[in-house]
């Protein structure tokens, strides 16, 4: 008997039955090889099917060569996908899971940089993110597009998939661009009033169904609303679209999502976007199409929330992308009363950042896209049990200790502070990023299931480790640099000099701010040289405490790294609404009591800013590798995480996992 009876009840989807109400919504994996699936794809999807999900919609696949934002897109219109569909279908069917393809076209929301082709759109309105002026589709080209959807459906059937989810209406993609009067200025049969703007979608749905017949599932993915953006379609518009599509009698379900590239946090809301943020709009769509199964998505992170939404009738299926990236075993754990051991999706959006240049990754699930080597069931017991000392209880040390202990080693974990968690614990002190603490909370809770001996408040010396252990893993982290130089002045970094005045009492590091160790006056200037998220974390933390914050960067943009995790827009909006001022293209020249002198990086002009009570430096970290070097040659020792070189949480956990498996 499960605690979640609605979640684990079957559901009829057209001609097929899903074993439960959990639906893995589509997400790019970037595991693509030559516009086709790879073996890694089979492992990726099979892992989620094995973890208990009822239905999987695979990643969006191109219906035409003009839709290729990065190299890694599958060509759903190419018959070469068929043998791989068969492999995938067989792999997930073993676990009684349904598998669908998701044909789509991005329209203007892309660039022609990779494929060297013009970007397609209904009218010449560029996307705010890619800013490429699109080619206005001729009726002949629209015919090619429709044919792409037809071929995609045909090959899905030939490949033995369970069906097709027509994509491109949601997220502001090409069919959505036809639907919205803001982006469709045509006066032919595809533009003008509501019916004409919807006609292309209906034509594609009709032709898709003609290909699949009634034995396969056909669904559509729509928005619940586009977000609070100029010209966006509202929930009312989408409800009408859903009703009209349902009236055709040709679709078996409707999957609801949100947002366009004008406000991407409505698509995949990063923390602090609340759990279930798309439930309300989805429930209104459900009410308009009571006869069809409706899928809700958007941080549906806990079985309690899923059960509650199903019980309320707001949706019939619970859609999850990141929830299952972070923990493919989520369904089985929820079903078997082990919900406490679910590795939570903390909304860090490293997954989105990762796919810009490489295969999908998760900030704290190292097995993502590496399922064959690191997935469920690959952790084997050791033949020779060793006594292992891990020094440092941040994410790298925690992950090493956990993995090594799970394999059967006897592990002692030393942490000099009174708490585990390292820098993640500090970031988690900010209200905005409190959820990130779930990364280390989960590791700590898992550690509690092992026999790891945790020694808190214990600053370990090299001499203590020379005997009594077969291996030592150093995970001693890093310390913020406080010399004040920007990386534009490399000669100054190593020579021990400092920017004049940064040794004053009122100059601090972000770490000192978040630890609550710094006395910070009301007016604060943060200087950033990294382009990373940390300066914004500190800025929001201080603004939330009523400090007037100015964030200065020597870069042309504040924290450009956030573009990859897709939360740059929402973070800027939040920061600016909290009153945080941005100054770009300036570095720190001097601090004189409460005057900060900035230097324009292009002209060299010195600009004094008076009445600054506190200065916070974000100029990178130095690896704390002294213990590692003291032990080298005396005991078997390795280093992981920031003490090798200060990087991201992802790298720390990744290296901890590899070390834990290698010992």
Ligand X SMILES: Cc1cc2nc3c(=O)[nH]c(=O)nc-3n(C[C@H](O)[C@H](O)[C@H](O)COP(=O)(O)O)c2cc1C
Residues in touch with ligand X (CB under 6 A): 25-28, 59-60, 102, 167, 221, 257, 267-268, 297-300, 320-323, 351-352, 355
By the 10 Å C-beta count (0-12 exposed, 13-18 middle, 19+ buried), 111 is classed as middle
Contacts for 491 with CB less than 8 Å, ≥ 6 apart: none
**Binding status of residue 369 toward ligand SF4 by CB under 6 A:** no
257 binds, among ligand SF4, ligand X, none (CB under 5 to 8 A by kind): ligand X
Residue 661, token pair as written in the block: 């498996």
Within 10 A of 288 (CB to CB), how many other CB atoms are there? 18
Min dist CB 587 to ligand X, Å, is: 35
Closest CB to ligand SF4 among residues 264, 638: 264
- The answer to whether 597 and 527 have CB atoms below 8 angstroms apart is no
SS3 146: helix
**Binding status of residue 326 toward ligand SF4 by CB under 6 A:** yes
Q: How far apart are CA 152 and CA 104, in angstroms?
A: 9
CA distances from 231 to 221, 546, 613 (A): 20, 35, 43
Residue 274, token pair as written in the block: 């609340």
Min dist CB 584 to ligand X, Å, is: 29
Contact region with ligand SF4 (CB under 6 A), list: 58-66, 321-329, 369-377, 553-561:
321-329
Q: Which of 347, 366, 428, 656 binds ligand SF4 (CB under 6 A)?
A: 347
SS3 308: helix
**Binding status of residue 362 toward ligand SF4 by CB under 6 A:** yes
Scan for tokens 């898992």, then name that residue. 446
Q: How far apart are CA 310 and CA 593, in angstroms?
A: 60
221 binds, among ligand X, ligand SF4, none (CB under 5 to 8 A by kind): ligand X
Closest CB to ligand X among residues 225, 619: 225
**Binding status of residue 363 toward ligand SF4 by CB under 6 A:** yes
Q: Which of 150, 325, 617, 644 binds ligand SF4 (CB under 6 A)?
A: 325
**Binding status of residue 27 toward ligand SF4 by CB under 6 A:** no
Q: How far apart are CA 292 and CA 285, in angstroms?
A: 10
620 binds, among ligand SF4, ligand X, none (CB under 5 to 8 A by kind): none
Closest CB to ligand SF4 among residues 326, 462: 326
- Three-state SS for 383-398 is CCCCEEEEECCCHHHH
In terms of Cα–Cα distance, which of 396, 403, 401 is closest to 412? 401
Contact region with ligand SF4 (CB under 6 A), list: 1-9, 145-153, 344-352, 617-625:
344-352
Closest CB to ligand X among residues 300, 542: 300
- The answer to whether 569 and 264 have CB atoms below 8 angstroms apart is yes
CA torsion angle for 548, 554, 558, 563 (degrees, to 10)? -170
11-13 and 16-18 beta bridge pairing: antiparallel
**Binding status of residue 346 toward ligand SF4 by CB under 6 A:** yes
539 binds, among ligand SF4, ligand X, none (CB under 5 to 8 A by kind): none
Closest CB to ligand SF4 among residues 364, 508: 364
28 binds, among ligand X, ligand SF4, none (CB under 5 to 8 A by kind): ligand X
Contact region with ligand SF4 (CB under 6 A), list: 44-52, 57-65, 360-368, 513-521:
360-368
Applying CB under 6 A, the residues found at the interface with ligand SF4 are 322, 325-326, 345-351, 362-364
């Amino acid at each position: 008997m499960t605690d979640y009876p609605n979640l684990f009840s079957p559901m009829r989807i057209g001609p097929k039955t899903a074993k439960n109400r959990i639906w893995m919504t589509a997400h790019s994996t970037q595991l693509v090889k030559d516009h086709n699936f790879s073996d890694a794809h089979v492992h990726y999807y099979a892992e989620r099917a094995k973890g208990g999900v009822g239905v999987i919609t695979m990643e969006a696949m191109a219906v035409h060569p003009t839709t290729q934002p990065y190299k890694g897109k599958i060509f759903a219109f190419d018959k070469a996908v068929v043998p791989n569909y068969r492999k995938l279908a067989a792999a997930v069917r073993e676990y009684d899971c349904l598998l669908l393809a998701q044909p789509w076209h991005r329209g203007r929301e892309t660039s022609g940089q990779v494929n060297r082709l013009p970007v397609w759109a209904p009218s010449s309105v560029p996307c705010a993110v890619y800013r490429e002026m699109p080619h206005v589709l001729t009726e002949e080209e629209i015919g090619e597009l429709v044919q792409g959807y037809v071929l995609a459906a045909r090959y899905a059937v030939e490949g033995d998939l369970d069906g097709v989810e027509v994509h491109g209406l949601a997220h502001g993609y090409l069919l959505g661009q036809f639907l919205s009067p803001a982006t469709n200025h045509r006066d032919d049969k595809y533009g003008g009033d509501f019916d004409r703007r919807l006609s292309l979608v209906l034509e594609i749905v009709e032709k898709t169904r003609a290909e699949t017949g009634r034995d396969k599932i056909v669904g559509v993915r729509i928005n619940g609303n586009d977000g609070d953006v100029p010209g966006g379609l509202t929930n009312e518009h989408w409800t009408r679209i859903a009703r009209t599509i349902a009236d055709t009698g040709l679709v078996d379900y409707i999957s609801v999502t949100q947002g366009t590239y004008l406000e991407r946090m409505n698509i995949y809301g990063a923390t602090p976007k609340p759990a279930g943020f798309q439930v309300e709009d989805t429930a209104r769509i459900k009410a308009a199409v009571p006869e069809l199964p409706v899928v809700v998505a958007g941080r549906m992170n806990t079985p309690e929330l899923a059960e509650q939404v199903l019980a309320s009738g707001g949706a019939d299926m619970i859609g999850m992308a990141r929830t299952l990236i972070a923990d493919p075993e989520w369904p089985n754990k929820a079903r078997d009363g082990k919900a406490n051991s679910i590795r939570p999706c903390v909304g860090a959006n490293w997954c989105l950042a990762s796919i810009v240049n490489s295969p999908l990754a998760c900030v704290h699930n190292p097995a993502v896209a590496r399922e064959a080597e690191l997935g469920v069931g690959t952790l084997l017991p050791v033949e020779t049990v060793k006594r292992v000392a891990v020094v440092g209880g941040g994410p790298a040390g925690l992950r090493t200790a956990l993995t090594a202990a799970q394999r059967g080693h006897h592990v002692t974990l030393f942490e000099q502070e009174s708490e585990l968690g390292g820098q993640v614990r500090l970031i988690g002190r900010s209200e905005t990023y409190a959820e990130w603490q779930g990364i280390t909370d989960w590791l700590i809770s898992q550690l509690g299931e092992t026999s790891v001996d945790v020694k808190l408040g214990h600053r370990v010396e090299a001499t203590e480790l020379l005997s009594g252990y077969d291996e030592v893993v150093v995970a001693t982290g890093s310390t913020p640099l406080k010399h004040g130089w920007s990386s534009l002045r490399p000669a100054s970094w190593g020579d021990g000099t400092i920017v004049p005045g940064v040794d004053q009492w009122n100059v601090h590091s972000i770490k000192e701010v978040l630890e609550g160790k710094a006395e910070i006056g009301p007016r604060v200037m943060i200087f950033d040289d990294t382009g990373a998220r940390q300066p914004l974390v500190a800025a929001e933390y201080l603004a939330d405490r009523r400090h007037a914050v100015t964030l200065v960067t020597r870069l042309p943009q504040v924290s450009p790294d956030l573009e990859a995790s897709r939360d740059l827009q929402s973070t800027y909006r939040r920061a600016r609404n909290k009153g945080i001022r941005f100054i770009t293209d300036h570095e720190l020249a001097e601090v004189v009591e409460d005057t900060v002198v900035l230097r324009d990086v292009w002209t060299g002009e010195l600009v004094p800013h008076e009445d600054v009570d506190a200065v916070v430096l974000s100029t990178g970290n130095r690896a704390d590798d002294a213990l590692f070097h003291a032990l080298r040659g005396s005991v078997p020792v390795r280093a992981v995480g920031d003490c090798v070189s200060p990087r991201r949480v992802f790298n720390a956990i990744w290296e901890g996992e590899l070390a834990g498996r290698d010992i």
